[in-house]
Structure 1
Amino acid sequence: MKRNVLNSLVVLLLVFSSSVSYAGKVKKGFVALEMHDYFKAKKAFSKGMKYNPEVCSFGLANLYSRDNNVFYSKDSAYRYIRLAKTTFYDAKASKRERFAKYGWDANGIDSLERIIADQFYAEAKRINTSDSYNSFLNSHPNSIHAQRALTVRDSIAFFSAVMENTSSSYKAFIDTYPQSDYIDIARDNFYEVEFSELTGDESLASYLKFVQLNANSPLRPAAEKKIFEIVTEPNTQESFDVFIRTYPENSMIDSAWRQLYQSSMDTFDLLTLKRFKNKYPNYPYQKELLRDMEYIDSVFLPIKQGDQFGFMNTAGITMIPPVYQQVSKFSEGLAVAAKNGKYGVIDKYNQVRIPFKFDAISDFNNGRAIVEQNGLQGMIHRNGSFVFECKFDDMGTLSDGLIYASDGEKFGYYDVTGFLRIPMKFTDAYDFSNGIAKVELDGLAAFIDIYGVYVVPPAFEELRIFSDSLYIYEQNGFYGFTNRLGKSVIDPMYDEIGELHNGFAIASIDGEIVYLNGGGQVIVQNDFEEFPNFMSRGEFLNGEAIAMKEGVYGKINQKGREVIKFQYENLGMGAYIFPFKKKGQWGVMNASGKVIVPSKYTSIAIYDDAYIIASTDFGEGVLSINDKEIIPMSFLSVEYLTDDLFVAESETGFGVLRKKEMIAPLEFDSVQMFGKDFLLLIKLERWAYLDIATGKLIEMRVETGE
């Protein structure tokens, strides 16, 4: 019995001694670690792992995380800190209390874990690939660097997709990173690149295949429009006919019908309309066609009675009674009218085609008009349907098949079907012209094409087109040239740069006028001085330009050589004849410098190289280019209208002359053009029209056409 008790005591003593011994290993390990004796620390912690793995794993993690010893290993540090973290609360409280002095507590473990995570993040940054950041995120999802790593990873992956720029690269990104901040632009790029890949040869077959394979693609309308453009490229009645019969489900079918109609109207008369109606019984706009036939040759002129407006025909018969607050001219068989403060649209039957519910309506253009409602703009079709609901703060005009619109914060571009072709991402936008449009992004100007791709990236506060490859930019009040990459190719040194016309552009620098070629290089420079309105007056016209030297005017050719001597007080513009000023008086000379009208007038203006409006101390009149008087110098003012028509002003009012013949008396308050065929003459409440071709004066009669 005594022997068994003795044996038990020996076993307990051995266990206690071993425990004390390994506890001593912990202490030795941390002391060695503090003394930077890393070999001793590693040995102590490694042996201590048998009985004290919780604290020794923390010690080893500490050892491996230090980059000032041969044992430095991020992977080992990560392995042991994970072990320390998962076993910490498995240890007895007494043990946690005993070894807390070595930093082995929850805060210490978390702190060391963050240090190790920092090392992994630094390594991920050094490698700087999406894989390196993915590896970091997989092992350290809760790191303070996780969000940044996620952002950078997505950026690298997206940039890689952009560099490859294929539909498969964007598809891979979309599938791999569906929650990325880049997902929307990746999808946009995917659709555009896929469209480009499938339709790269721009053939009819490729667009048809795209529509077949991508029925739900946002670029399907673009493909259908291309189909429409290719099939109808001849722009003939036959081509639109083929399109309508072959592609009745195409989104451009409406445009096809309308353009078929327009293309059939080479002669817009009743016979042509009847032929169209018989040939196309399924034309969807029969009512419009019938009304066009009814009033094909009728002209409706606005009339005013009190504060109300209506329309009369050219016989002076009232066709639409004056019941509206405002009316526009008829355009495409429709007129905008206002009633009770709201705008609608009427036809020549005075039928309301579009209800009076809008705050404004523009003139119709190809069956469409901009409308405004509650401060927001939209677009309507002539049949009353919306192309766009009234939801935009601003809208442009339709050009190159696109129209800009703003939601109050950003601008984008829509096509005529109402599809958003270029996303709402710009801070300002302008109409397209020749396939490009100016936009602004956060205060910087740029140019885009009809697909929204930057032609010139946003790099300058002000930007305008100079040539196919050069753009004018402004910096600190001076102008220079940039290329399509947004890189300055000619530093900003000019005070002004004009537009390029026939290979020449006028510019000024330090008060001197020079001329530039299409490359922005100076090609004419001869100490020419600035003068009033030189940017327009100094442009080359018929190979010659007005210039100034030493305070006097002359003319130069495109080599900068003098062709009209520098001796005049002023010169006016003109291709073949032009005004000159000498000794305070104006005359006219021809391109060879021969005086054809002596300098004896106080002012001169030339129109159509045929008529000269001249002023004397006694009044204004009109001369021929042979210095013959057409209209005597007896009027307060004379204004050229068109052909041989002039508006003259006397003390009794305005009138109209055809050369010397007075065809409208000098009694009106104003005279203005109304379309190209009529003049509108107003005297108080009296409205009259003058038929330019016949000289007939038209006024409202009492009779009505009802």
Structure 2
Amino acid sequence: MHKYLFLLFCLISAPISPLCAQEYRVAIAVARIDNTIKKAPNGKYQLWKHPDSLLIDNADSIVFKNREWYYIRKDGRQGLYDRDGKVVIPIEYDRIEQLSGYLFLIEKDGKKGVFNTDGRKILDTIFDEIENKGYEWSDKARLYVRKNGKYGLCNERGEYLAQPIYNEIKGNFYKLELVKDDGTDYLLSFKHFVSDGITILHKFVLETDGIRSKDFYIFRKDTLCGLLDEEGKVFMKPQYTKLVCRDIGYRFGTTPWLIACKGNNYGTIDIYNNVILPFQYKSIRATSIVGCLAVETETGKRFYDYETKKFINDYTFDEYHTSDLYTAIKKDGKTTLISNDTKKMMFPYKYQDVFSQFHHPYFCVKLNNLYGLVDANDKIIIPIMYEDRLWITCGDKIVIKKDGKYGIINLKNELLYGMINHIIVAYNDFFDIYDSMKENTRLDADLNVIQEAKK
């Protein structure tokens, strides 16, 4: 083959005389004959490696797929050859299907097995079902097998990771739940088996130096929670009624904190079971505010800054709701905002509710069931006099409702459109006016009619 390719290269590179052209055509023909599928006079198919090397004769079909594999059917059986003419799977199976770039499913007499691309049978045809849960491009397989109604798990070498004794396999790549009649076993990272009547609740990762990491698993046995390391060994014996980690206190080279409950009292610990916050609080919750926990004390809920290891004592609250820049906190039915950055209260508890405005430094406030706009210093921007929430859109425009009628104002509270009896709905760059008696009207951001909007 190499001499023919060399001849072809030389002929293409040289000027083509009539004699050379003839030689050129011969070279092309020879190159194409290599691994050639031919149809014989009897209607059967042949696979030739060279013009004088017949690999397969009297085949019912030969199909070349993915520029790599010859699928051959003969006498009702199927086999597989590679593009070099090497036998990968002998012609003795009912069906062959590619599971991944490295594995093929085989089937014979209703039972399934697996070959790899090196031509080695890694699973005999003894299974009812085989499914590859690994990545198609990876040489690492995760083969779910079913035999006699039970499930098991094999790797790419055909070795059992879990014997086929389970009713169901659930979970993902780092934690598989292997369910059987008398309980659930766990397989961690497809390596480490865990049983002994425990339930794995959650995984978290400890980054040790920005490159390497260690996995830890929160588990429950009976009614108490503890920690397993990445090999499934007990790292912290079960002793807490609740254990939660959400990367609290996370930094490279530092120890994560966990929220723990002992009896009815909450505290925080590190993974070595050192107490950070004592067990004397009604509840502790992780928040979306960077560096803060919500801790419920006898006097109310407070934020605890676990970076400075201090409580924020400026205020207490009953409830909170966090957005990107601000957190609304509520106490005794009144609401205010704090800055997620500074953790400072922006104005006293005085409003029924407060809503942040996207991309604007203003807040819609509700007082006596009416709505207005204030800034971060609690200065009135739009008087608190309207019947629906106010949202800034189309630059500086706001849809309002007053006395049952609708209009559009600007940030100076100047009426730009209305008041009308029809509902006005604001979008990012247009308004729709809904009229049950005719086609709806659409206005652009400058309040010009741009079309008749469909109902």
Under TM normalisation by the shorter chain, which class is it? 0.3 to 0.5
Scaled by the length of structure 2, the TM-score of the pair is 0.46
Query: If each structure's helix is expressed as a fraction of its own residues, which one has the higher value?
Result: 1
Query: If each structure's strand is expressed as a fraction of its own residues, which one has the higher value?
Result: 2
Scaled by the length of structure 1, the TM-score of the pair is 0.32
Q: Which of 1 and 2 has greater Rg? A: 1
